[in-house]
Amino acid sequence: MGEMNQWNINTLHGQAYLDDEDDPNLDFTILATGGLTDANLRQIVRQWAMSLSEFEDHIGWTGSSGRSAAATGGAATASTASALEVCNNSGAGVSVAYATASGGTDSSGETLFRSEGSLNIDDGECTDIWDSPFKNRFYYIYAEADDGNYSGDYFFCTLEDAFEIVDTQCSTDYERNGFLQIDMSKGNRMQVGHVVDLDP
């Protein structure tokens, strides 16, 4: 009971309690007033999976097989809908390009990267870029807005029009832009996905 109380004191989402058989339970309340968009529902599922995993860690829960319940139960079910998602909170529309390792190499053994784009995301909207299972550790995002870019230190080929480029070096026909890197090995992103927020 002490673990339940401590969880409820420190956690905003998910009310913990013991049932009549002293089994731990976790409630997860959602607000559905006005309906739910597909993007919001996916985000809720990811939040639930994350809360469940954290709750299991908090109480030291293991299933009858001795493995974590997150590996055999509800969190695994939720993870089938996980995605790496971009949410545009910039105040204006953005154009998004994305890249990751293609799984191949060139004749010299250098990793080939695939860059793609561009996706237009309206302000206040979210778009899934990659769905699970995530085959790579690193994924990359670049976004352009009227008043500035969301960029990083990892450079890949782009074009102004729709494109899909697999290359190690950009030809003269391509532009070259710096992408933000997303490390999916952090926390439990591989299981529950991750949201990249483009804020003002």
pLDDT of 53 strictly over 80: no
- For 130-171, the pLDDT digits (tens) are 998 899 999 999 999 887 899 999 999 999 889 999 987 788
Which tokens is 164 given?
């899909």
Which long-range contacts link 7-10 to residues 24+ away (Cβ below 8 Å)? 7/55, 7/58, 7/59
Q: Residue 22 and residue 35: Cα distance in Å, rounded?
A: 35
Residues 163 and 72 in one domain: no
Residues 160 and 178 in one domain: yes
pLDDT of 158: 93
pLDDT of 38: 56
Domain span at residue 32 reads 2-79
Residues 12 and 71 in one domain: yes
**Residue that terminates a domain, selected from 79, 106, 124:** 79
What is the number of domains present in the chain? 2
pLDDT band at 4 (very low <50, low <70, confident <90, very high): low
Residues 136 and 104 in one domain: yes
Q: 102: which residues sit within 8 A by CB, 6+ positions away? A: 111, 112, 113, 114, 166
Residues 47 and 88 in one domain: no
Which tokens is 107 given?
């004749």
Q: 178, 151 in Cβ contact below 8 A?
A: yes
Residues 67 and 100 in one domain: no
Q: 45, 131 in Cβ contact below 8 A?
A: no
pLDDT of 52: 63
Cite the DSSP H helix spans in the chain. 2-10, 38-59, 74-79, 189-192
